[in-house]
Structure 1
């Protein structure tokens, strides 16, 4: 974002900032990477402007299939300038969300266009947006007949969900397009769940319980407004993700491995449940540093806790040969169960990515199994909804390892949580070494 834009009307600056982010995503970068790049190379987004830019970017990525469909109907050929295309997509999303402000939105979008690409697209932007307003009812009807526009997901994604979840695929797609809940996990080493709830109420935050130590905020807020967050009284963690540590069934003194542990939410939860000899592992050094930061904030770092940078597929590099009693294998995956938090993933993922993740998951599982003690338990976890990464992966693992057996979870061989008002989508399977 240019300095000139940051001094202009707030909406114009927000439209331009969001268009920059969307252009970065369409070029193949994740939204997180695009934000980091903006902070390093351009005027940093702060305060209300950052909030406005993020709102526009996230909303447009959630409904990208819809806005892209509209744009294709409104233009005879694709616009050559990527930034102008992104400006149009962002503005179409805004017009749908705030129809009562249509005149001001179009005016601000034209203002931004006049500063981009030598101002050559000012008339085009004005014409496309006003044409959309005239034809909106017609375009909305057409969008209902187009699966990508209607469900706001890529065609291959819709097809795979139909196959894997024939009775729930439409509800999953609808849930993926909503805003995610914000849930807090109470650090019961520091405060009781009841006392923390009282602090939330005193701070004017309304919540409801979604677990023994989990409180979901009725309305998400910045972490600065959460009482005791910086003092380590709580963590932000989805209620579905909080099931992992509970399912692993840890006991004091056990040797526990959290593989692929960054940013450390599940490792911290395990340490909140019991005094453990824990190794938190991650292949990325920068992400591993975040594990340490979170454990320090929560007061959980000790001589019995080690954070290590290493690849879960190659234990010989980081394992000392002492078997683990418990292993949390929270493996890399498509993240198809958490796309409402990462809407860019819907449009960045490809079918081939699922196959690639499955290969990585096989290598991690087979490598970690050799480090598990006899009688020990390993929890296989993903934030995916695709069977190729979940049930099919576990079934194949059982077939390769005669000494592996499933342990029931809630009376079932495994658990597939679907995106819901109270939690994201996760898969869990608990394995024991005979």
Structure 2
């Protein structure tokens, strides 16, 4: 049997197992283990041990539980709620101001957590009811919350980029910095869209009533201080890292301790908050570690088959496709897979093929990590089975129907596609900041 046929059978078997509802790590790990034993007999038993050692020796992996814990502390202790109160008072007087504030809230929540589900939970349970109560168009604001929460996997400390870094064997710090400018560009485009739409049709985002705007300057400053606390925690964590004073792991520990200290000082650190934060941190961290372990094993078998070199030769030599054509086809395949898989499953399934292929085609793997993440954001909001669509349906108020959710995402998906095209045409949007920081 040819190596290409073995590789095809591995992917087919993995897809079949996942279609039966098996967990991602179980499907991938089982296929990798069985293939290794069948191909290399007793030598194949070394594969999981080697993969586990790679994972345990990867020092930056320690950042994962730290950042997840920080995000859950800020969320469970309701410190993140203060952000929305600040935007409510400061941006309510302008048309569409609360929707703009919601995008800003999503960016800050993303900088605290690194998971889109955290932004979705805060946006759907805190921001969305307030926007609807004040007469905002339900389709527009539903799209605002979904699009804003998707920034959680692009803006540092993105957990998805940590996973990509492990599989692609790239520095986490450079990947995080590479996501900063694209994330801000995308958020800015969201805000421009909201401003233009609300200028053309003020009924979509009416200003706050006069009685709600009549807040004393002292009260406004108090809300500003409370709302900027999470931003201060992020600054305390990231400034030393960017300046080279601390390592990435040390900065993650600073962030976790700062969030814990802030919750204690604000007298919001209860036993339930601490216990929920620890449980959620442990559950998500273990899930990602099992997935990475399975992905490393699968990638090792795939590398051993030499399938990547064979496929690269097929595309470039036999079919005559240009590197850019191959790259675009790869991105389109992510969009298709995103209709029925989450970002983690997508990356793990195709990483053994795509990451070496991107490298063989001469593209930068840091830049490609940003492209992959933006494509995941688009896939999150693509019907019929986009991840964020169903999260929104589960968390949104009863008056938001599934039809409303589907109808709300069109303009925001278009903005994400525009952002993806911009990053592809101008790679320095992603590469400038990591080159500047690490070059200096």
TM-score if structure 1 supplies the norm length?
A: 0.29
Give the structure with higher Rg (CA).
Answer: 1
More strand by share: 1
The structure with the greater share of residues assigned to helix is: 2
